[in-house]
Amino acid sequence: MCKRVQFTFAALAFFVCGLLLAPHVPFVHAAADNKVKAPTWLHGFNVKSRKFNEFDFNKDTKKYGIEVYKDEENGNLVYISETGSIAVVPGK
């Protein structure tokens, strides 16, 4: 048989197995009490960022505001900037 036919039969077999097994898989819930803890605000700060051709900080240097939150569910620190950038790092 050619490869296309073999691939089609294999895909069809997996699809039928999925149809037969899906009703028997139990549903899993993420949280038993469905209560999510709110993040805790730790601090906020402003940082200045120069362009590659600026040699020193001056009044025209762009400032960015950054807020830091602690995720109470897993202990990670979440950094969110005013531009919408997000960074997540493991907490200590």
What's the average pLDDT block by block, 10 residues per block, for the chain (92 residues)?
Answer: 85 88 73 77 93 88 94 92 94 80
The CA-CA-CA angle for residues 42, 46, 52, to 5°, reads 135
Q: How many CB atoms lie within 10 A of CB 77?
A: 16
* Rg over CA atoms, the chain: 25
Residue 46 CB partners (closer than 8 Å, separation 6+): 63, 64, 65, 66
What's the confidence (pLDDT) of residue 87?
95
